[in-house]
Structure 1
Amino acid sequence: MVISTQPAASAVAYGRIVAQMSKALKLAARPSGAARLTAVSKNQPWEVIEPVLLAGHRTFGENRVQEAIERWEPVRDDVYADLDLRLIGPLQSNKAEEAVAFFDVIETVDREKIARAIADAVQKKGRCPRLFIQVNIGEEPQKAGILPSEADQFLHNCRSIFGLKIEGLMCIPPVDGPKGPYYALMQKIAARNGIGHLSYGMSDDFEVALRFGSNEIRVGTAIFGHR
C-alpha cells in the first residue's frame, strides 16, 4: 500500500486563506492578528475537517445545535480541549439551553424571544457564551436578523431588559452588488453602541470585509469545498 505524503486539500486551502487574510490586513494597515478566522464546518464530513484541525486551527462555525453536538462532543474534552465553537445559524428558542451549554459564541441573537430564551438559559446553566447580534443589513425578507433601523433599540433591550453582554454584531450582506456600503453601515451601528467585534466576510468577500473593519470572518467553501 502506498501512503500519500501530500497534505490534504482542505489543509492546503486553509493555509492559503490564512495567507490571504494576512495580506488583506496588511493592505488595510491593520495588525496581523486583528481578525479571526472561523472555519465553517457545517454539513462537512470529518475527513475534510480533521486536516484543518491537524494544521492547528481551532475555531469552527456550525449552523445547527444538534449537528454540532454530535460532531464535536466526542473530541472536545479529551482530544481538542481548546476548541472555539460558534453557532452561526438561526437559533430556535427551544434549543437555547443546549446552545448556551455547548457553544463558546452565539452569533445569531436576532429577536427578543431569542434574547429572553438565552437569558433564561444563562441563569439556569450558570454560564454565558459570547453573544453577537445578527443584523439583516440588506433588509432581505428571506434572511434572519434585526433590521438596521431597529438595531440600537434591540441592543439596548438585550442589555437593560435581559442583562445580556453583547460583544459583537454579525451580518450576511446581499449576494449581488458591492458589499462595502453594508459593511460601512455595520461599522456605524457598532461604533455608536460600543461594540468591538464585527463578524462579516465569507469565502467570496472576506478581503473586502477586512478592509471594512471585520475582525471575525467566516469561511467554509474556500477551505472545505462545496458541501
Structure 2
Amino acid sequence: MSGRERLLDAALRLMAEQGIDAVPLQVIVETAEQRNASAVHYHFGSRFGLIDAVARRHQARVDELRERMLASALARPEVTLTDLSACMVLPIAAMMDTREHRDGVRVVSQVIIKYGFHTILSADGEGRESLAEMWRAFEAELHDVPVAVRRQRIARVVASQMGAWADRATQIDAGRTPMLSHQQFVADSIAVAAGALSAPAVDMRTLRWAVKLT
C-alpha cells in the first residue's frame, strides 16, 4: 500500500471518529506510519485537500450505483419524487455494510455540513455528473416550486439524509441497536425525503399567533 493510501485510510477513520477539523494532521501522519511530517501537504496540499480526497474516494463507491439507478428511473414512462428519493437514499444505504463505508458516510456528512451541498455539487471531478443529474431530475419534478425555494429544499433534504445515515452509522459502530431495522430505515428515509420535497408551501400569515410568541 502506498503512503498516499495509508494517509487516506488513517484520515478516514480518525476524521470519522474525531471530526474533519479536530484531528491533528500529525496524528494522521503518525497513524499512517509515515516518517515525513509534511506527508499530508506533499500528497494533498492542505487539510482541505486531504478531506476532499477522503470524501471523493468514498463517493466513488456510490457513484456507479447512483448512475445506474438514475438511468433506470429516468427511463420509466413516469418518474416520481419517490423514485428519485430512492436513487438518493439507496446508494447511501448500501454504505452501511462495513466500518470503512460507514466512516465514509460520517465524513461526507461533515463535509456537507461545513461546506454546503451546493459547494460539492459545483466542484469539478469524477462523480459530480451523477450528482448534477440527480439535482436536475429533482428540479424538474419540482418545477411548480419557486427556483430559490426548490433548490434550498433539495440541498436541505440531501444534507438531512446524510446526517441521519451518519447518525445511524455512529449508533451501529458504538454497539447500539437502532430503533428501526435496516429495511425499515431505508423505506422511511425514502418516504421522508419524498415527503419533504413535495411539502406544500406555508403561508406565514396563518402562523401569526406563533410568530408573536418568538
Question: TM-score range with shorter-chain normalisation?
Answer: under 0.3
Normalised TM-score (structure 1): 0.22
Larger radius of gyration: 2
Q: TM-score if structure 2 supplies the norm length?
A: 0.23
Q: Which has the higher strand share?
A: 1
